Amino acid sequence: MSVAIIGGTGDEGFGLAVRLGRAGEHVVIGSRSDERGRAAAEKASGIAGASAKIEGASNETAAAGSDLVLVTVPFAGQAEIYRSIKDALRPGAVVCDATSPLASAVGRSAWQVLTPWEGSAAEQAKAILSPTARLVSGFHTISAEALHEYERPMAGDVLLCGADADAKAAVGVLVDKIPDLRWVDAGALSMARIIERLTALMIGVNRVYGIREAGVRMLGRDAWGRPPAKE
Amino acid sequence: MSVAIIGGTGDEGFGLAVRLGRAGEHVVIGSRSDERGRAAAEKASGIAGASAKIEGASNETAAAGSDLVLVTVPFAGQAEIYRSIKDALRPGAVVCDATSPLASAVGRSAWQVLTPWEGSAAEQAKAILSPTARLVSGFHTISAEALHEYERPMAGDVLLCGADADAKAAVGVLVDKIPDLRWVDAGALSMARIIERLTALMIGVNRVYGIREAGVRMLGRDAWGRPPAKE
């Protein structure tokens, strides 16, 4: 089974492609153009090592070929990208949206945010896809800068939210393949209204301290991942 | 110099009163009624120990007597409280707002939030106070439950935001007195639009995992506190 990374030529998506490729996942980098997808895949393979299986394709082809689709695109283009892959997605595919509605989409600062009509970028994605789409929101607190330091383990937690517990766990399996990331189930998809904004908070803290890799770690449990079954 | 805790009879304020009293701060617990303020102070003193100096008063008297005023009240009553202390505040006093605009204020869930007209509860407070008020926003990620386990050091970070760097540092001095809390300068007061919502995120994570003390820690620097001067 392959993982599609829509917008995999961008910083976050490319970093995830290399990290997941190196972890043994079959990755397909999607891009608006087939050639750019293939060029990015070649570059990512070069970094990830000879055993990594990373291919490139158009976003539509990448989406059509996978049961697990990560969407890592800037907010300004998010709606258009979802409209473009909507019909290509397999029934039952898990779609993980990593979009943060940063105000840089409209020429303001990246430590400020917009409020999408549906409340969050993830809910905007859900509104564009079919109502049965298995949408998860996540990866907003993971620094692209840190992802690109490929020899260093990552730090920090990926907060996942969405209605479908199995879909969250499927994305969580990917998170667990990237040392030393952990995943936390943060509840319903609407929690993305809070979690997506953390990207802007990290960017703001980076700016205040003149650093580049602010991140966030949850306290309160030694291990997170799939929550215990409710009694 | 004393620290006033407006709404110090509530869970968060009471916990902070005990912790700060034990750390040697002169604390004045404010309440809507003089008597309830004094009763809470007596109880807090009993927990904090004989050497702690914790008094009780009305909110107005507490606010008038201090250069550092923490406001720890539920969102439903926040505006009224600020109107009631506005004229009592000393010129130049630092006011730290700890309000989270949880939807429980209007009969919805505490893991959901409202959007105040000014963008955040802290900015709502600022709009009520004089334009020269030295307002800081903070303490949203600190669990009242954990605060009340008085023999245990705290974990996690207090994110402070506001326009006045010295005001943030003054609140930071208090944070540093509570073992093992740290404080992070998260930028302008409008960042409260993100940070206040973290209370709801913590409550949501608590609910998902059946725990009570979810918290958050910033990654990216070994030490936080006052940021380095810009070049």
Any chain B CB within 8 A of the CB of A117? Answer: no
Any chain B CB within 8 A of the CB of A95? Answer: no
User: Can you list the alpha helix ranges (DSSP code H) found in chain A?
Assistant: 11-22, 34-48, 59-64, 75-85, 121-128, 144-147, 165-176, 192-195, 198-209
Q: Max Cα separation, chain A?
A: 51
What whole-number distance in Å separates Cα of residue A197 and Cα of residue A193? 7
**Chain B nearest CA to A210, separation (Å):** 8
Any chain A CB within 8 A of the CB of B181? Answer: no
**Chain B nearest CA to A53, separation (Å):** 31
Q: Name the residue facing A194 among B200, B214, B215 (closest C-beta).
A: B200
Per-residue confidence of chain B (231 residues) as pLDDT tens digits?
Answer: 899 999 999 999 999 999 999 999 999 999 999 999 999 999 999 999 989 999 999 999 999 999 999 999 999 999 999 999 999 999 999 999 999 999 999 999 999 999 999 999 999 999 999 889 999 999 999 999 999 999 999 999 999 999 999 999 999 999 999 999 999 999 999 999 999 999 999 999 999 999 999 999 999 999 999 999 876
Nearest CA in chain B to A200: B194
What whole-number distance in Å separates Cα of residue A193 and Cα of residue A111? 15
Any chain A CB within 8 A of the CB of B224? Answer: yes
Look up residue B132 and give its amino acid: T
pTM across the whole model: 0.95
Q: What percent helix, strand, coil does chain B show, rounded to 5?
A: 40, 20, 40
**Chain A nearest CA to B220, separation (Å):** 4
Indicate yes or no: CB of B209 within 8 angstroms of CB of A221: yes
Planar angle of CA B94, B96, B98, nearest 5 degrees:
175
CB-CB contact of B143 with B198 (8 Å):
no
